[in-house]
Chain A
Amino acid sequence: GIQVEQSPPDLILQEGANSTLRCNFSDSVNNLQWFHQNPWGQLINLFYIPSGTKQNGRLSATTVATERYSLLYISSSQTTDSGVYFCAVERGGGSYIPTFGRGTSLIVHP
Chain B
Amino acid sequence: DSGVTQTPKHLITATGQRVTLRCSPRSGDLSVYWYQQSLDQGLQFLIQYYNGEERAKGNILERFSAQQFPDLHSELNLSSLELGDSALYFCASSFDPGLHYNEQFFGPGTRLTVL
- Interface residues in chain A, defined as those with a beta carbon under 8 Å from any beta carbon in chain B: 30-31, 33, 35, 41-45, 48, 86, 88, 90, 95-100, 102-103
Assembled-state Cα–Cα distance A30/B96 (Å): 13
Specify which of A43, A48, A98 is in contact with B45 (CB 8 Å cutoff).
A98
B45 near A97 with CB under 8 A, answer yes
Of A86, A96, A97, A99, which is in contact with the most chain B CB atoms at under 10 Å from its CB? A96
- Interface residues in chain B, defined as those with a beta carbon under 8 Å from any beta carbon in chain A: 2, 33, 42-45, 48, 50, 55-56, 58, 88, 90, 92, 97, 100-106, 108-109, 111
B103 near A48 with CB under 8 A, answer yes
B56 near A103 with CB under 8 A, answer no
Q: Which residues of B contact A100 (CB under 8 A)?
A: 42-45
A103 near B103 with CB under 8 A, answer no
Tell me whether chain B's interface is mostly helix, strand or loop, or mixed.
Answer: strand
Q: Give me 21 A-to-B residue pairs in the complex whose CB atoms sit less than 8 angstroms apart, sorted by A's number.
A: A30-B100, A30-B102, A31-B100, A31-B101, A33-B103, A41-B111, A42-B106, A43-B106, A43-B109, A44-B106, A45-B2, A45-B103, A45-B104, A86-B43, A88-B104, A90-B97, A96-B102, A97-B58, A98-B45, A100-B42, A100-B43
Q: Which residues of B contact A90 (CB under 8 A)?
A: 97, 102
